[in-house]
Each structure stands twice: as C-alpha cells, then as structure tokens.
Amino acid sequence: MRIAVDIGGTFTDLVALDEQGNLYQSKSLTTPEELTRGIQDCLTQANVQLSTAEFFVHGSTIAINAVLERQGAATGLITTRGFRDVYEIGRGNRPEGYNLFFHRPAPLVPRELRFEVDERLLASGEILEPLEEHSARAAIAELKSRKVESAAVCLLHSYANPVHEQRLGELLRHEFPEAYVALSHEILRECREYERTSTTVLNAYVGPIVTRYLIALEQLFDASGFRGAFLIMQSNGGAMSVETAKRVPVTMMESGPVAGVIGTAALGEALNCRRMISLDMGGTTAKASLIKDFHPELTSSYYIGGYVSGQPMMLPVVDIVEVGAGGGSIAWIDDAGALKVGPRSAGAAPGPACYGRGGKDPTVTDANLVLGRIDPEYFLGGGIRLQKDRAVEAIKEHICNPLGLGLEEAALGIITIANYNMSLAVRAVSVERGYDPRDCVLVASGGGGPLHAVAIARELSVPRVVIPPMPAHFSALGMLLADLKHDYVQTCLRELSEISGEELAARFAPLERQAVETLISEGAEERKIILRRFLDMRYRGQEYTLPVPVTEELSRLGELTSIRSRFNALYHEHYGHSAPEEPVVIVNLRLTAVAASANRLSLRASFREDDKGKKGARLVTFDGAQGPVSCPIFLRRWLRPGEQLQGPAVVEEIGSTILIYPGDAALVNEFGHLIIDVLHKG
C-alpha cells in the first residue's frame, strides 16, 4: 500500500494505491488544533491500515500558515557586524507606486533580536577578519537571555566560504542546544544578502513548529506499526525524507499546491498537451500554474504572502499564483458599499453557513448551493448534508438586505466576483508570462475547480477544459507521482570567456557528490539518479539572470560557444531580442538532482457497469438572464468512455461537482477524463 495525504486549509485528502492497482480515497475536515487527527480520520474513512503501507508521502500548509499568520517560533538572527539591518532595509522596490499608505514587509525578527559578531569574508571567500569567538559567545548569550526558540545565522559572503558559519553553528549547538539552528550555507549558497537572510530566517521561523509536527506524525506511525518510507512534498515539485524536512522546512512552504501541478504535468504527457494551465480551487484559496512541454514553470524569486507585503524566499518553487478565492471564501461589503469575496475564509471551523457548524457568514459554497449547482444531499458523497436554509439566511442578512438585492442576484454576484478573482490568477500565469490562453488547456482540480472552470475558461477564451479523475483528491494523487528531488546552487561569478569546461566540471563536482549522497540516504538507487546542470547567466552589467541548461559533458568541452548560443536563444525567447556581441557573465552554478519515483500510476478513472449514468434533474442557475434551467444530473462513476454530454448538465462525484454550461460539449475519453469543449460567443 502506498499512501498520500494532503492537508489543506479546509479539507484533508487521502489517496492510497495497493499492489493490485486499486485506488482508495477519503476526505475529512482539517483539524487545525491537531492536524494528525485529520490524517487519522482519513485513514479510518478509507479503511487503510498504516501497518500495511510501504510508502507515505505528505504535503501540508503548516509551514506557510505559520508565516502568513505570523505564528512561528520566536527567532533571533546573528549577522556580520555592520549588517544587522540588511534584513529590515530590504530592497528599494515599491510594488504599489501610487499607494500613499504602503508599508514595507514587517520583518519576522525584530531589531532587538538581531545581533552582530566580529568577522568578515571577501566575496571570493578569503578571510579578511577571523571570527572573534568572544563576540560570538556574547551574541549566543543574548539569544538565550531573550528566550528565543530558534536562531538564524547569515554571515556576509558565507555562500563562498562557510567556515565562520560552521564554527558559529558549533558554538550555538554546544551552548544553546535547546534552540533550533538554521545556517544560511546549509540552506542555499547564493549571493544576494537580503534574500539569503530572509530565506534563512524563514527556515528558522518555521523550524520548531514543523519539527514538532513531523515528530508527532512519526509517533503516530510508530504506534500504528508503519515501517515504510516517510517522505515530505517540497515546493519544487519533488519529495524529500523527513530528516531533510526537519533540517530545511522552508522547502515545504508550498508542498500541498505543487502536487496538483505535478499531477497536471503527468496528465499533459498522457494527453500530449504541451500548454496546460492548472487551476486548483480548494476551500480557502485557488492556485494557478502553467505547465510547458510537460514541465511546471519554476521560479527562485518567490514571496510568501505575495510580492507586495510578503517575505522573499530564494529557493526553487513551482511558479504558482494564489488568490483568496475558495469554497469557504467569505462574501462581505466594504466601507464603500461594494460586494467583495475573500480573502478571508470560513475554513474548516466553523466553515460555510450551510455546513451547520456555527458559521454565519455567506461563502462561495453557500452561493453555489442557493443557485442549485450543488446537491445538498450529495456533498462529499453524502458525507456532509448541507443546510440550504442557513445559506439563504446568511446571504440575505449580509448581502441582500444591505445592498437591496434579490437572493439569486446576490448569489450570482458572489460567484461572478469569485470567478473574476480566479481568472486574474490564470491570466497572471499565462498572458503576463507571454502565453496566449487560447493556445492552452485548462485542467481543473480541487473540490471547487470543476464547478468554476468553464466560467473562467469563457472569460479568458480557453477552448478546452479537462477534469481529471478524482479532482477533489488531485493534489494527493500528484504526490504519488512525485520524484525524490533536490536543488543546489553555488555562486560562481565569472566571465564566460574566462572559464573552461574543465573548471566548470570541477566546480559542479562537490554539488553532485552532495546530491548523490543525500538521495542515496533517502533510499534512492545510484543508477537511477539523474543530475541536471544549469548556469545562471546574464549580459555584463545586468542585474538578473536566466538559467541555461548544460547538456554537454563539461570536462570534454573546449570552448563554451554552444552554451553562449543557448543563452542568446533563451534571452531572445524571454525578451524578444538578444545581444550576441555583448560579454556574458556566469553568476551561479545550479544543479537539480532527481531520483525517479517507483510510484507511477495511470491517471485513469474507475467505472461502474451496474447502472446508467443519469441520476435525475434539478433547476440550476447559470446566469441572471436565463434564470433557473432544468439540468440533467449524472454520476461520474457511471459515465463510460466515449459517452458524450451536451450542456447544460451537472456531473457529480465524491468531493466535487462538474458544471457544463449551455452550448458546451463534453466527452469521456478512454481514461475517464472529462473533456469539455467550451462555446465562445463572438
């Protein structure tokens, strides 16, 4: 048995695969006060025993939520003398140029918890001033007296030579053993002091919380007789061992959402679609990402909480745009009397008003229920019986009465705003990246994705929508497809013309040794490890770089003209022009190490042959002009390959509802994927 569990803001999802290829699934409300209880609830629902499992992979929002809610550990920071305030000064960027009330992101470590030590390295790694251990011990004593739980260390130019950080780490672990210690050179070895400091602080800030959580999970597994491999999903789309996750928990910030993108990439390969947009709408947020040529787009310039006010993290992350538009997103009226939806969410507790668990605010789920798009008796396959009267009451009290709207009009307004918010996320990963949505296929997942995908596709002229099998569990399913994967970087500032292939190979060698050792320690077979080299390059005088893949055997490469030509071509692809005569500079060596997962499975739906697909009919409101329309209702597990549906129609399955608009045509392909061709007027 192989098990994957994804913990979201509202629901916890489980998917398990046995030796015969049978898939098991379950979904329960997330239990924020004790996350392991939600996992246990899912195991019980699916009737899956941990003792029979040989593999467990897990993604969670625990790290990112700690940052967004500023509920992380009390953290101190040790820096080189004179650089105490780099972390707070940050960059001079002004994301909102016309916002008179703009404020810089508040640092996670206040100034009184930032301390300096006497030492100094040159950018080359040479020691200018040795570490003065008296100042180091004094800084550690200050941290102890302030009762911090975690210590981050980021010394100037330690990416080039970690000797001082290593010694400071030894002193910390000896004199302050109860503290969680994060050393910048162990997390990333790349220049840019502000981003490197922020990434190290983030690691320290979530370290104690994540470590306690993972230890609690290990205790649950031990008590249940689990003896298999326990892996954690990373933000780069790969998996890592639990020990690695305890050491660098910052790499699991987006561990849940990226799994759905990995699933979409696998789906694109199966369908031979080279441009796909993943839309994952859960209970709290909606996430969009672009997959090009079966590979997710990655970025190393990521902000936890968004570019305007978030904390920068300089590690490879699947490029995801996230908006506060989920099933539990609350509809409200601002001071100017305008209807808004999100980003605040009802979450799992109390949840939407229709859950009957004490929620009073109207949400997107309440609006869908009022419009007939959701069957109150079949939500989560009947696991939760929705109370329509409570949804009506919440919308009337908070939206209809203040704005003077009818019930249907208010519910449609909520859905329209939520769809618009999500369309902005889809636009951000396509149009704003230079890709035409009309050339893409939209893959909808999450509990709410299939319910809203066609409306978003119509907004952006996306011609086709694909609903994969088990969309409400798609992120957990994607985790079963994830490879073991680690990314490494080393700053190496050199003119391309002044360095040889042999020297580059020698500089890559330590990164490759470290990568192979780490993957083998996590259970990978050496013969199955794939190493991919990249050079971060730019024209001389520029600030930012492009990662250029290196496919040649460097040690046998005399001239680097092929790499230079590849950089020029990539630059032209990104910016529409290039400068072949300008000198080119290498800034970083980058290595991606992958060990292919053995957990390959076909993204295929299961069918039942004992009945027909049609369940009945009910009135569904698509837009205000038409009013309620009688819609046939189908159960997805009864739809056979080759079957065609004509909109309007509703397809229901456990955890999700698929809405097919009037005029649209849907086909069940050989794998059970629902392919919807979207009608675009005009």
Q: What digits encode the pLDDT tens for the residues 62-83?
A: 888 888 888 899 999 999 999 9
Q: What is the C-alpha separation between 52 and 2, in angstroms, rounded?
A: 9
337's torsion region: left (phi>0), alpha (psi -120 to 50) or beta? left
Q: Is the pLDDT of residue 599 over 60?
A: no
CB 664 within 8 A of CB 677: yes
Angstrom CA distances, 481 to 231, 258, 260, 271, stand at 12, 12, 10, 16
CB 206 within 8 A of CB 67: yes
Strand pairing class (546-550; 584-595): unpaired
CA neighbor of 168 nearest in space, from 135, 195, 198, 190: 135
469-497 per-position pLDDT tens digit: 889 999 898 898 888 999 999 999 999 99
Q: What is the C-alpha separation between 49 and 52, in angstroms, rounded?
A: 6
Q: What is the C-alpha separation between 282 and 99, in angstroms, rounded?
A: 31
83-135 per-position pLDDT tens digit: 999 999 998 888 888 888 888 888 999 999 999 999 999 999 999 999 999 99
In which band, very low, low, confident or very high, does the pLDDT at 233 lie, cut at 50, 70 and 90? very high
DSSP state of 147: T
Q: Taking the model in full, what pTM does it have?
A: 0.87
166-222 per-position pLDDT tens digit: 999 999 999 999 999 999 999 999 999 999 999 999 999 999 999 999 999 999 999
Mean pLDDT of the chain: 90
Q: What is the C-alpha separation between 251 and 267, in angstroms, rounded?
A: 25
In our burial notation (b when 16+ CB lie closer than 10 A, e otherwise), range 512-535 reads beebbebbeebebeeeebeeebbb
The two structure tokens encoding residue 476: 């957990």
302-340 per-position pLDDT tens digit: 888 778 878 999 998 998 888 888 899 999 999 999 999
Q: Is the pLDDT of residue 601 over 70?
A: no
Count of other CB atoms within 10 angstroms of residue 109:
22
> For residue 135, what pLDDT is reported?
96
DSSP string, 89-116: H-----SSTT-TT--PPPPSS-GGGEEE
> For residue 516, what pLDDT is reported?
95
The arithmetic mean of pLDDT across residues 278-290, rounded, is 90
Question: Domains in the chain, please, with CATH?
Answer: 2-68+210-252 (3.30.420.40), 484-595 (3.30.1490)
Q: What is the C-alpha separation between 505 and 563, in angstroms, rounded?
A: 14
Write the single-letter amino acid at 658. I
CA angle 581-584-589, nearest 5°?
Answer: 155
188 or 61, which is more confident: 188
Residue 445 pairs with which residues in a beta bridge? 280
What stretches of 30-179 adopt beta strand conformation (E)?
A: 55-60, 75-80, 114-117, 120-121, 127-129, 150-154
> For residue 99, what pLDDT is reported?
85
| Residues 6+ away with beta carbon under 8 Å from 98 | none
419 or 301, which is more confident: 419
**H or E, element range at 552:** none
CB 277 within 8 A of CB 265: no
148 or 97, which is more confident: 148
Angstrom CA distances, 264 to 287, 302, 344, stand at 13, 21, 27
CB 232 within 8 A of CB 242: yes
558-590 per-position pLDDT tens digit: 778 899 999 999 999 888 899 999 999 999 999
DSSP state of 252: G
Q: What is the C-alpha separation between 195 and 337, in angstroms, rounded?
A: 40
